[in-house]
Structure 1
Amino acid sequence: MTKTSSFNAPKGIPDYVPPGSAEFVAVRDTLVRAARSAGYGHVELPIFEDTGLFARGVGESTDVVSKEMYTFADRGDRSVTLRPEGTAGVMRAVIEHGLDRGQLPVKLCYAGPFFRYERPQAGRYRQLQQVGVEAIGVDDPALDAEVIAIADAGFRALGLDGYRLEITSLGDDSCRPQYRELLQEFLFELPLDEETRQRAELNPLRVLDDKRPEMRELTAAAPLMLDHLSESAKVHFDQVLGYLDAIGVAYTINPRMVRGLDYYTKTTFEFVHDGLGAQSGIGGGGRYDGLMAQLGGQPLSGIGFGLGVDRTMLALQAEGKTAADPARVDVFGVPLGEAATQRLVVLAARLRAAGVRVDLAYGGRGVKGAMKAADRSGAKYALVLGDRDIAENQIGLKELATGEQRQIALDDAVGTVAEALAHDR
């Protein structure tokens, strides 16, 4: 009878275990690699921060702050919150460590779990995995285009092609106040429920993000920010689009787009994949020119994104693709006897030091069981060693796909195996 654990993972928080975890690692690392190629340095953020950081930085009117944060009192009776997103934490770290006093822009990349109390469903978890970048300190349309292009390059490197980039501008301080009044005038004429009316008072843009069909219908004729941009915001947006055109990043202008966080200004974007149903966003971001000053730092601009690792995995699945290397190792050792095990343990260590991925058949299993394990590992080659081979200072190098085996010198095995793998690549 199979025993089961007395405990399960918390609801809405996925485990990543082999072999599926290989896909998770491949997606995450590919998205990070795209940022590294543009000079973004790594930042490691705390899992939890002072609750006030997110309340002030993300926005009191957002669902993230008002409904979704995991907030608790620590043993010192301080209110702390599991991080729901990355930008506010990065901005806090930049201010705290004085990075904004050095060379600008500050270009940072991060990856890890974030936490939101939502109703779990496909592509929406309470512990979500993201890769993010932030470029802080320079207000340049070319930098906006670079950030967007990094995300696009990461998706393309994974082989995704069924997504689209939607983009808009949310204006700047010279046009947003007037537009806010205009939008509120429109909204307050509608038969809004009390909760929606309160949201319209705090941040009317959030009402345009309401996914309820009846609200979509009510706000269909709402004034749009793109039609009320200041001259400087319009020039900025046009230049961003020009750069994207020049580097070949396709986009669709979506004038009704509203991101779920309050700090966005000017360039705002989202990557959407229609193969995911309701949870179609696989990543997005935008510019947040007033956030640093709001958190007590210099009045410096910034732009960034957050890409969903889980959502990207689902998008690959929807396209019938995988980013993972099916091979867990390159070489699998098959020892026939105790003496062979001792020699192969040493040889495996030497091969690993040379950059070769190696596993062994442990537990004294027979040849048949060991070869099955070798096949399951996805290895290109098996190294088969018995007492007679040791006496002759040889070892069998078997190509698992064809079954062909040849004897090689045991003393030269590291170089011979590395050369064979290099030739195959």
Structure 2
Amino acid sequence: MSGELYDRHRRVMPDWLALYYDDPLEITHGEGRHVWDAEGRRYLDFFGGILTTMTAHALPEVTKAVSEQAGRIIHSSTLYLNRPMVELAERVARLSGIPDARVFFTTSGTEANDTALLLATTYRRSNTVLAMRNSYHGRSFSAVGITGNRGWSPTSLSPLQTLYVHGGVRTRGPYADLGDADFIAACVEDLRDLLGHTRAPAALIAEPIQGVGGFTSPPDGLYAAFREVLDAHGILWIADEVQTGWGRTGEHFWGWQAHGSNGPPDIVTFAKGIGNGMSIGGVVARAEIMNCLDANSISTFGGTQVTMAAGLANLSYLLEHDLQGNARRVGGLLIERLRAVTAQDPGVREVRGRGLMIGVELTRPGTDRADPDRAAAVLAAARAGGLLVGKGGGHDTSALRVAPPLSLAVTEAEEGAAILDDALRSTR
């Protein structure tokens, strides 16, 4: 059955639309932390539709909210008052920490980042943007133009002038051998030098932990140190929290909070987990930035009633059940378990991450060269063992990405680690 569907897929879908596995998987339903394929086989889901199923598959509170709202009205556009949209915006504004915050809802993280770039460049009257090497910010024309990961940026054409900054990857690059404090100092000095050779940029956009880049991150404090330099030049800071937001990193509700207490970013973008599978993205910014546009705008599908109902129910569940705390506790256990089982594997360069956002980087033994073939083999072997994980990385896609729903139980973490251990052993 899946072979027949795959043939149909190839006849009507673009060649560049990525699929996992040589024999692609059709997922038909899910519950909790598990999904089932078309043949009825059950899998422990450690990727959650690319970090999107944040709380659980088929969470009753969310499905009930969606069903009840769909029975009333699904959509009316932003041309009319929308109570669920206002209610979710109020909650997101409070949680953002941004003073006098305004919220604009979109349908995806790509569109959220696109909106943030529009706001920043308009507010600053500059089309120059700073971005991090190895970054990923979406698939729109402007977003691929600021993506610092060649594998996900299909064109060099862009409406923006993009300058790439050091620091998003701690263990690679010219500063990798430095201690954390010296690493930060070197990256800051590089930023100062860069700013001395260009017209003032509109903003720096950065993921606190790079998602598609393989769950890499700088030492804590880097972006706070960058912020001092940015503020001196009037440059805005955009935190791309599409993958790191809502408590996934365990220690903090937002990824940017790991970088010091000198205030929130000027703009925060979000998406993925807040909808638990429904299409919600958005931008939070202080009023003077959000209101800088001098033309009318709407969003036909951003903030539609049914997605907002899902977001409200999902966010309530997350907060009431302290899923951030669960990500910290169970994620800490899982990362230590993965470090233990990979300690003797010469092809595992690093196990890194925070909370339930963990990367396992694979390289050819004895080198720093990526091993994408083994990464693909481990992905397939894990699937055969009943576990779904993702992959990514800026060095030829050789990092496994482990990001289960935040309600993951300890027993499920142990089960998933054991399956991944077997998959790694079978591919040495």
Greater relative contact order (Cα < 8 A, sep 6+): 2
Higher strand share: 1
Please say whether Structure 1 and Structure 2 have the same fold, judged by a TM-score greater than 0.5. Answer: no
TM (normalized to structure 1)?
0.24
The structure with the largest alpha-carbon Rg is 1
> How does the TM-score come out when normalised to structure 2?
0.23
